[in-house]
Amino acid sequence: MSHTAHIRSHRKPRRTATSTIAMRAGVAGGVLSTLAVAGASSAANAAEPVTQTLELPTLTADLAAQVAESADATQQAAANYQLQAERDAAAAEAAKQAKADLAEAKKKAEARKKAAEEARQAAAERAARDAERPALTTETATATVSAPAGGSVATVLAFLQAQVGDAYVMGATGPNAWDCSSLVQAAFKQVGVDLPRVSQDQSMVGTDIPLSQIQPGDILYWGGKGSAYHVGVYIGNGQYLDAANPSKGVVIQDLSGYPASGAVRVL
């Protein structure tokens, strides 16, 4: 036996091929892992800053319906405001018209009051003159008219002029609507003259007067005597006053535009 046989060899043991390959694989794996981590870190550091974004809510069917309902409500509110404005304007116009009508009614009432006062004065004057001139009496087949000669023509004309602007309604007898004969009858009643109701009979009363000699207060008629279809009262200056027709009402007109057929005088 060698004298060195008991001494452990200082030589490093040989590595086998298998262990060498494994070691190399481990080293390579570690290197690759390190490189991957480093690469990921570098990529994270090199990336641009992240900007936070907000997603708008999706317009769902329910939201669309709510928007449509809101639009309808707004449109309805606008329509309601417009309707209210129109109603307010109509109410203001009605109030304005009512005020004007009231003023006109007061004016007519004052005119009628004045006519009534003049009628009373005329009655007093007639009483004083009854002995001087006898009453004029004309009898017809349908009516008898007693007309005091001292009757006031001015009172008749004042009453007629107070009715200007009133309506024409066939068969009406006042106080705000007349037909032609009812207006004439009411005017002469103010001075105590009772005329027949209709035009035909009114053309038969009093004294016939040539149209060339008519005076204010004379009754004019259109149509034949006893069959007249219209009457009015001459007021002077070539004019007469009558309840003309539904479109004109009570008006003053020129006799030249619608010449009468005849005239009678009862005052």
The tens place of each residue's pLDDT in the chain, 267 residues long, gives: 455 555 455 455 555 444 444 445 444 455 444 444 444 444 444 445 555 555 555 556 677 777 777 888 888 888 888 888 888 888 888 888 888 888 887 778 777 777 666 666 655 555 554 444 333 333 333 333 444 444 589 999 999 999 999 999 999 999 999 999 999 999 999 999 999 999 999 999 999 999 999 999 999 999 999 999 999 999 999 999 999 999 999 999 999 999 999 999 999
pLDDT at 111: 75
Q: What is the CA radius of gyration of the chain?
A: 59
Q: pTM value? A: 0.49
| Of 166, 159, 175, 164, the residue nearest 114 (C-alpha) | 159
- pLDDT at 53 (0 to 100): 54
Every domain of the chain and the residues it spans? 128-265
Measured CA to CA in angstroms, residue 144 lies from 22, 78, 138 at distances of: 157, 71, 6
Instruction: Report the SS3 class of residue 82.
Output: helix
Tokens of 72: 């309808």
Residue type present at position 142: T
- Tell how far CA 199 is from the center of its chain: 40
d(CA 187, CA 163): 10
Question: How many Cβ atoms are within 10 Å of 75's Cβ, its own excluded?
Answer: 10
User: Count of CB atoms within 10 A of residue 114's CB?
Assistant: 14
Cα–Cα nearest to 241, from 170, 166, 175: 166
The phi and psi torsions of 136 (rounded to 5 degrees) equal -90, 125
In words, the CATH class of domain 128-265 is: alpha beta
In this prediction, residue 114 carries a pLDDT of 73
CB 259 within 8 A of CB 221: no
Distance CA 3, CA 186 (A): 179
